[in-house]
Amino acid sequence: MKKLFVFTSFLFISQAKAQIDPVKYPTYTNIEDALSSKKTVYSISFREKGLFNLPPQLAKLDSVFFLNIMGNKLEKMDQQIFVLKELEILNVNENSIKYIPDEINQLQKLTTFSMNLNGLTRINPNVAKLQHLKSVHFDANNLNVFPEALMEIPSLEEINLQGNQISFITDGLYKIKNLKFLNLSDNQINDLANLSFPKQLKYLELQQNAIVKLPENLFKAENLEYLNISGNNITTISSGIKGLKNIVSMNLANNNLKDIPAEIKELKNLKTLILTGNPIGKSTIEKLKTLLPDTRIYF
């Protein structure tokens, strides 16, 4: 199984129902207790139960909005899941599932969909019909292209695709108009061409790829606050960097940079600049300290 490096998400993954209030929405951990409950069942967790299949009776609990089936031995998404029309949060992490069934489009209220550490090689196009999705997590699968289905969901605010094998991204990211957090780290991206980014993007993680050049359109992402492009093959940074007016933290470590353009001085909100692991001379560092007196520079 792949090792998943966990990063802190900057958005709230469980916004629905006040982050699952344990008093108002108690979580049942076995099907018998849930079925015998005199109260309406909203939350179910079969986490790490060693299940090969979900209990058929799950389909009777049609008020469930939170379902956690992570850490089992599932090889497919059972049909019981798609009967749960009130489902908002679905966690299928750490199983052995290789595909998402067409029936996924029946979960019209889904806002958070997490399938980290499975065996997905593609994302079913029917995912695009989930127009209330806000957060998706497909980290540590076997995806080799950016899922175009996600580009058809403008409501998305957070996309996590870390630790896949993605090498190609069609120019359609800009259509995800509400996207704020994008993690594409630890993939096989080497060419971003002139990819356009959503205007609302605040957090972008591209570390541990094979990127040689940043697209000029990236510098038009004027709301970007955190950028991590460490561990790539970048040799130069364009003067267009001055367009990142709201950038607070920039990690450029472990690239092949010998210089940073003087236009970086226009980044008045920059608090942290990480340059460790680059062949940058002392004179250049001293110049940067002068250009950025209020920025903490690591070299």
pLDDT per position as a tens digit, 34-66: 999 999 999 999 999 999 999 999 999 999 999
- Domains of the chain with CATH codes: 22-142 (3.80.10.10), 146-299 (3.80.10.10)
* Phi/psi of residue 28, nearest 5 degrees: -90, 140
**Average confidence score pLDDT of the chain:** 93
pLDDT per position as a tens digit, 117-127: 999 999 999 99
> What secondary structure, in 3-state letters, does 197-258 show?
CCCCCCEEECCCCCCCCCCHHHHHCCCCCEEECCCCCCCCCCHHHHHCCCCCEEECCCCCCC
Q: 114: part of which helix (H) or strand (E)?
A: strand 112-114
pLDDT per position as a tens digit, 201-223: 999 999 999 999 999 999 999 99
pLDDT per position as a tens digit, 94-106: 999 999 999 999 9
Residues in the chain: 299
282 Rama sector, left if φ>0, alpha if ψ -120 to 50, beta otherwise: alpha
In this structure, are residues 68 and 47 in contact, taking their beta carbons and an 8 Å threshold?
yes
pLDDT per position as a tens digit, 135-160: 999 999 999 999 999 999 999 999 99
pLDDT per position as a tens digit, 165-182: 999 999 999 999 999 999
Burial grade of 252 (CB within 10 A; 0-12, 13-18, 19 or more): buried
pLDDT band at 21 (very low <50, low <70, confident <90, very high): confident
Which carries the bigger pLDDT value, residue 29 or residue 9?
A: 29
CA distances from 145 to 133, 142, 189, 213, 235 (A): 20, 9, 10, 19, 25
- Dihedral, CA atoms, 63, 82, 8, 138, nearest 10 degrees? 180
For 192-213, letters b (16+ CB in 10 Å) and e give beebbbbeebbbbbbbbbebeb
24 Rama sector, left if φ>0, alpha if ψ -120 to 50, beta otherwise: alpha
Q: Which of 235, 184, 228 is nearest to 212 (CA)?
A: 235
Question: Per-residue pLDDT averaged across 268-296, rounded?
Answer: 96
Q: Which two tokens stand for residue 215?
A: 């697209």
Give the separation between CA 32 and CA 50, rounded to whole angstroms: 17
